Chain A
Amino acid sequence: MKKTVDVSIPLGPMHPCWKEPVRLKCETAGERVLHTEVELGYMKKGIERIMRGRPWQEVMFLAERVCGICSVVHNMVFIEAMEGISDIAVPPRAAYLRVVANELDRIASHLIANFSYCYTIEHETLAMYLLNTRETVLDNLERLTGSRINTAYMIPGGVRFDLLPEDAAVMLADLAKVEDELKRYVRIFETGPLIGLRSRGIGCMSRVDAIRAHTVGPTARASGVEDCDLRLRHPTYRALDFEQVTRTEGDNFARVMVRFQEVFQSIDLIRRCVDTLPAGRIRGGGLCRAGEISYSGEAPRGELTYTIKTDDFGRVVDIAIRTPSIMNIEACAHYMVADAASIADVTSTFISSDPCIACNER
């Protein structure tokens, strides 16, 4: 049930810290925040409505336009849902290449999330460092797929382009450079005294609260929720011995650090993928058929679910998308910033939960 909030401080919908329009209604007593409520609905696109009646080759492009930051995973979850409906098997090489593209996208997404956080706590130097590093990652995504953001890399039964050994070598060299740079940035973040003042012990959410609020993704993992990464259940990631990153503090610092650790983990995963890339074909073929499925995958922000119904010709009859940020935003408003000591912490805590409003409102 929605709480009634006697708004004394509205944050947004236009706010210099927000990347997208959202309104936080805060009830305050002096500096102390008593209640907070989120107001969404400023950028509804109606993508699910546009998707209806279209075949996969059109819906694929609409799906990745749901979110501009984590577009690859939207493509991946939609395509894997279609494959689940039609029993299409993916060649092992294609499955590994999908992981490469997805992890590159995850690195880019986590870096921009941490950029936003550093920018919000006014550490612009570190923020710009991270944004600069992200460019290298996007260049590699472009080398693999031809586009930086909306890549449309996966199709039912495989991927669109193969990864050449020389491109793979350039990618690994670039990622080694990214890893080196990131180690320094993480040290700056961990040891920076001013960053510590703004991050450690701010916006705490306990494990019990995190589970009660159904948080997902790095937000849940920072509060110590185990076994909440859907990559643990994905067959390709299982073959790569994926292990979940978990921290126990549950504050802003932990949420940002979880993302940093996941970036290192993603770099490792890409290395393992490229080293053990099986030979063979990258497309297996297979027509989309009629059926109904609900399929989830791990987006950079948490669990992403596509519920799809198709007709005999593989066209989408009905589709519903549940994106991860919706739970994290509500958890942020009701648990993280509840009883915050300062209004300034509301913005940074909200950004630390990595809200993606475009995802939420589709």
Chain B
Amino acid sequence: MRSIIYYVREFLRPEWLKKFFFVKTAPLVTPPYFKGYPTRTEKECTGCFTCMMICPAPEAIAVLRRKERWEPEVYPGHCIRCGLCVEACPEGVLSSGRVMEVAGRDATAFWHSYHLEVDESLCMRCGNCCVACPINRQIDPRLAGTGTSTSDDVIMRVKGGRVQILHEEKCTGCKTCETQCPSGAMRVARMVEGVQFLDGVGS
């Protein structure tokens, strides 16, 4: 008896009855603050590879050279929609939800520096890292064409039978060498720091 009273009291409320007969499910709309897959804006990519550097998912974004211009390409199957690439891009090439506007409003950014290291016990001196490195290929076009280089301006190259890091400061942390290394010997340490600029003064 008590439970009958309980159910009657619960379901004979005018509010509930009104809802039961007349309520309609609101149509599903994507809210403006939803972080979707990053899309390209009309701004031109400069090929700085910051998005590839900060991306936490394996091979979710690649900056490709197409018809004399750089284009960031997002692979939706790999992308986890974290929005870090949108926040990190200095040119505003990528956009996802309102991440770009919010990052611009709060004047937030990431500072990054890199350290390259080769595990000599794993490295088999194939030189894949040196050939795959997009910065190397820009510095020495011969490396891109033939796979060999004698230039000392490149980030790294096989010299004296082993991979030598020549210019660590030119690295952009894009992880291409790390993904191309067949034995997992190449490691890029990416040290990232979240900062905010208030009143034009950096932290």
A complexed with B: yes
Q: Are A146 and B33 in contact (CB under 8 A)?
A: yes
A:165-202 near B, CB below 8 Å: 188, 191-194
B:144-203 near A, CB below 8 Å: 187, 189-196, 198, 203
Q: 1/0 per residue A50-81: CB within 8 Å of B? A: 00010111101100000000000000000000
Q: Are A283 and B31 in contact (CB under 8 A)?
A: no
Q: Does B2 contact A (CB under 8 A)?
A: yes
CA distance A160 to B86 in the complex (A): 12
Q: Does A218 contact B (CB under 8 A)?
A: no
Q: Are A282 and B196 in contact (CB under 8 A)?
A: yes
The residues of B that contact A57 with a CB separation of less than 8 Å are 54, 56, 84, 190, 192
What residue in chain A is nearest B203 (Cβ atoms)?
A: A285
Footprint of A on B, CB under 8 Å? 2-3, 6, 10, 31, 33-35, 54, 56-57, 80-84, 87, 97-99, 102-103, 105-106, 108, 111, 115, 187, 189-196, 198, 203
The residues of A that contact B108 with a CB separation of less than 8 Å are 160, 282-283
25 contacts between A and B (CB under 8 A): A55-B190, A57-B84, A57-B192, A61-B82, A125-B10, A139-B31, A142-B33, A146-B98, A156-B194, A158-B194, A160-B194, A161-B102, A161-B103, A188-B10, A192-B6, A193-B3, A194-B3, A281-B203, A283-B203, A284-B203, A285-B196, A285-B203, A313-B189, A313-B191, A314-B191
- B106: which of A147, A150, A162, A193 is its contact (CB, 8 Å)? A162
Q: Does A336 contact B (CB under 8 A)?
A: no
- A58: which of B56, B81, B194, B198 is its contact (CB, 8 Å)? B56
CA distance A282 to B195 in the complex (A): 9
Whole-angstrom distance from the CB of A20 to the nearest CB of chain B? 21
Whole-angstrom distance from the CB of B80 to the nearest CB of chain A? 6
Whole-angstrom distance from the CB of B96 to the nearest CB of chain A? 8
CA distance A288 to B196 in the complex (A): 17
Whole-angstrom distance from the CB of B26 to the nearest CB of chain A? 11
Q: Does A43 contact B (CB under 8 A)?
A: no
Q: Are B87 and A160 in contact (CB under 8 A)?
A: yes
Whole-angstrom distance from the CB of B153 to the nearest CB of chain A? 25
What residue in chain A is nearest B97 (Cβ atoms)?
A: A146
A:20-60 near B, CB below 8 Å: 53, 55-58, 60
CA distance A193 to B4 in the complex (A): 10
CB-CB under 8 A for A55 and B192, given A162-B106, A193-B3, A282-B108: yes
What residue in chain B is nearest A197 (Cβ atoms)?
A: B3
The residues of B that contact A162 with a CB separation of less than 8 Å are 102, 105-106
The residues of B that contact A281 with a CB separation of less than 8 Å are 196, 198, 203
Give the most central of B10, B87, B193, B203: most A CB within 10 Å: B193
- A157: which of B2, B81, B194 is its contact (CB, 8 Å)? B194
What residue in chain A is nearest B190 (Cβ atoms)?
A: A55
Q: Are A146 and B83 in contact (CB under 8 A)?
A: yes
Q: Does A5 contact B (CB under 8 A)?
A: no
The residues of A that contact B83 with a CB separation of less than 8 Å are 146
Q: Are B194 and A283 in contact (CB under 8 A)?
A: yes
A:90-144 near B, CB below 8 Å: 125, 139, 142-143
Whole-angstrom distance from the CB of B158 to the nearest CB of chain A? 24
